[in-house]
Amino acid sequence: MCLCFFMNGVSAESFTYDEMASSAEDVFRYTQENSKVPKSVKINGKTATDENYLNMLTNTVVKISNGNKAGSTIPSRKAPSNPQGTGKGTLTKSQYITVAKNINSFYSSNGQAPNYASSAVGNIRYESLIYGFSKALYAYERDGTLPSEMSFPLVSGISSSGITVDTTPPSTSRNLNGGWYNTAKTVTLTASDNKDPNPKIYYTVNGGSTYSATKSVALTFNYGDFTLKYRAKDSKGNTEAVKTVNYKLTVINQVLDILITMVFLI
């Protein structure tokens, strides 16, 4: 369920903090690969255009610098009139936070995205700001702290397409139902995902150590009782809910050995 508030009787959609962090990683990677920023960002059915997304990024970074991991409302901003600026380079944490605050003030005063932002490395172009602040937010989510410095390379251009952030967890199937068996059995777990071709499987047996395998794993169970717990995780961090299955194996040869031993003891 999205976080919403009401302004003049109209409900405004928001990205939660987790949605902001997840989308920032995708925007960062998309820009790296395409040398352009996406024209929009969609996650869980909610869409922010690039001019609104920059405002959301800078709001989130400023909040984080104040110890507040809050979501961000999707504003209604105008696109920049004429993106420009050739400034590029590295800003310290205090410098890029000041830039973020100045961008927020510009948005509030003008209802429009800035063409550029003044900084210690010159006028940083609009698209470069989207890239730089998405990278800063992604780094925070990855490392647990805002970077002590952040580079803002020159990025020019807005893609004709937007991106949809993947929030679908993978799913793990198994080839053997739980229950009682009288022979040794091999259980194969196979994970599949809508985007990641090689999701990882994490599993435990009888509450022991957690093991991992890529995409598929085969486990052989002999005589005894076994509780198998497993889940899958994709490269985006989407994680399947833990699944549990129980097996009881009374292997015929083991039973015969026990009976023969009992006979000799008698």
pLDDT at 6 over 90: no
Q: Which residues contact 238 (CB under 8 A, 6 or more apart)?
A: 166, 167, 168, 169, 170, 193
pLDDT at 126 over 60: yes
CA–CA distance, 14 with 208 (Å, rounded to integer): 41
Q: What is the CA radius of gyration of the chain?
A: 26
Give the pLDDT mean for 179-194. 97
**pLDDT attached to residue 260:** 47
Question: What's the pTM value of the predicted model, to 2 decimals?
Answer: 0.81
Model confidence band, residue 12 (pLDDT cutoffs 50, 70, 90): confident
**pLDDT attached to residue 210:** 98
Cβ atoms within 10 A of the Cβ of 195, count?
12
pLDDT at 49 over 80: yes
Phi, psi of 55 (to 5 degrees): -60, -40
Phi, psi of 6 (to 5 degrees): -115, 130
**pLDDT attached to residue 251:** 74
Check: CB of residue 163 under 8 Å from CB of residue 26: yes
Q: How far is CA 12 from CA 2, 7, 42, 163, in A?
A: 10, 7, 15, 21
pLDDT at 5 over 70: no
pLDDT at 186 over 60: yes
pLDDT at 257 over 70: no
pLDDT at 9 over 90: no
Pairing mode, strands 179-181 and 243-249:
parallel
